[in-house]
Amino acid sequence: MRLATALVLLALLVPDVAVAQSSAYIYISSRNTSSVKRYRADTGAYVDEFVESGAGGLLHPQEVLWAPDGNLLVTGHGNSAVKKYDGQSGTYLGDFTSGYQLSRPTKAAFGPDGYLYVSQWGAGQPEVARFDGATGVFVDEVTANGSDVAPMGQAWDSQVRLHVVTFAAGELRRYDEDGSFEVLISGLSGPVNVWLGDSNQAYIVEWGTSTRGSGRVVEYNLETRGFTRVVAEGLQHAEGWTFGPEDELLYVCDWTANAVYRYDFATGERQGKFIAGAGLDTPNSIVFGPPTGPVGVESSHRLERFQVGAVFPNPANGSASIPVQVARPGLVEIAVFDVLGRPLGGNRSHHVSVGSQELLVETAGLPVGVYLVALEFGDLRWARRVVIGR
């Protein structure tokens, strides 16, 4: 991507988002107030109730995430559709998903295919449903759990295989395209979130149960399927995580303490309580924003002449690769941005031939945090989120 056109690309990807402010915000779902609260990202000070209590019928929010158009999506345990709110004002814009009645929706994420994946807690419908990422129209169910396992957070590996943690079963499962699954890790203590790293690592946020201990974040090796280390501990019930774009720290919500704590990702050292108060009640999801660059999902241009896979390894350390498939030869331009949309260099141009290939993404020198990799191929644009770890 030519640096001179970077700002134009940002405007195309997120047309109605203002220029980045001098300080960003943190948005947290407050389950028991049925609202989304906003805090200053630099100080943790309370700003306002960004999504007011019960706005649009929101009931017991579970996940907050940015849509490709820069608006905020929220799942609610008591709702049958994903809600959509204006990314600048928090005004309710209507239901985002359609064509399918969700049953106690919980965690949600945009997948490498550009679709929105939503896990469901409801008995009798314990599946992960998939929706068009641009329109919200129902596509299909991608799991075949067949029992009340309470699926929660999702993640994808370098082969774009879906991984889901299941709260009731205490497992990390990897799903095939037909919905069948393999249990990779069992015996987990109420797992609620997951992300995958380099060297076959799985990072799992455990809510904690009365019989298996309190909340924490743990690391497993997926090759050996063995426990590696505790990444974060000292939490009553953990749910919801993110990396800070500026301070290189891991942020984790404590569902019971009504607070957000920060940790050094490499050492596990707790940096103290960063957010609390202002009526925050059972926080369970956290995201920085608003986005002023490409959000961590694809644009609506999911055309077969340019397909993009998942960044791997992710978290990365030094460099990473991203698989692409093109139907004609051409030039793919890559740039890296922080979550505020600021270009960070590392721009590369790759001449690609017809077929599948892997492109290098240079991440050396970037501090620990979350970044966005933007790709441009002719008139088509995609974006991928990458976590830099150590």
Continuous segment of H or E residues that includes residue 8? helix 6-13
Whether the predicted pLDDT of 300 surpasses 50: no
| pLDDT recorded at residue 212 | 67
Distance CA 356, CA 203 (A): 29
Bridge partners, residue 327, by sequence: none
**Percentage of residues in the chain having pLDDT higher than 90:** 54
Whether the predicted pLDDT of 227 surpasses 90: yes
Handedness of CA 156, 199, 366, 382 (dihedral sign): negative
pLDDT digits (tens, 9 = 90+) for 318-352: 778 888 877 666 788 888 887 667 788 667 888 77
- What is the DSSP secondary structure assignment for residue 353, as one 8-state letter? -
| pLDDT recorded at residue 302 | 34
What's the predicted TM-score (pTM) here?
A: 0.75
Domain chopping of the chain, boundaries: 21-289, 306-388
| pLDDT recorded at residue 86 | 95
Query: What does the mean pLDDT of the chain come to?
Result: 85
Query: What does each C-alpha distance from 57 to 82, 83, 188 come to in angstroms?
Result: 11, 9, 33
CATH number of the structural domain 21-289: 2.120.10.30
Q: Which amino acid is at 335?
A: A
**Cis-peptide, bond into residue 290, ω within 30° of zero:** yes
Handedness of CA 10, 16, 20, 23 (dihedral sign): negative
Domain with residues 306-388, CATH architecture: Sandwich (2.60)
Distance CA 331, CA 121 (A): 44
| pLDDT recorded at residue 366 | 84
pLDDT digits (tens, 9 = 90+) for 158-214: 778 899 999 999 999 999 989 999 999 999 999 999 998 767 889 999 999 876 679
Whether the predicted pLDDT of 310 surpasses 90: no
Whether the predicted pLDDT of 382 surpasses 80: no
